[in-house]
Amino acid sequence: MKRSVLTVLILCILTSFGCQNSDGQNASRKLSKPAAEWKKTLTDNQYHIMVESGTEPPYKNEYWNNHQKGVYVSAATGEVLFSSDDKFDSGTGWPSFVKAVDAKKISIVHDNSFGMSRDEVIEKSTGLHLGHVFDDGPADRGGKRYCMNSGALKFIKK
């Protein structure tokens, strides 16, 4: 009995780290340049979120409660990714959107990290992590909730 419990525990641990490579990067996505190069151009917070697939704390990030009109661009490339017109208050503490401005600028990759099954949103041109997308958004606006990290974005006021 102890042996089977230990075996299951070891398998769970290996599985939870199975999607991470030695840089902490999700192995299912390919970065457009080496992590060391991104380290030179991104802030520590941006690097943690975008390269290491980190998540910032809810309600303690720059844009969760931003109600100004404008666009949200990639912190790495400046590409327009989301619009304030598509932002809504999800009650989660992160900036949430019903859709991307241009679906061709993002990719959705299945993410099984930390024992969860989620869909990760990455910037298509760079392979950098932006957040996750869920099916619990406003039904009258498509039903999606693109839950983004403020640290992966920069806001440009209209």
Catalytic residue among 75, 130, 147, 152: 147
Within 8 A by CB and 6+ apart from 6, the residues are none
The yes-or-no answer on residue 12 being catalytic is no
Q: Which are the catalytic amino acids?
A: 147
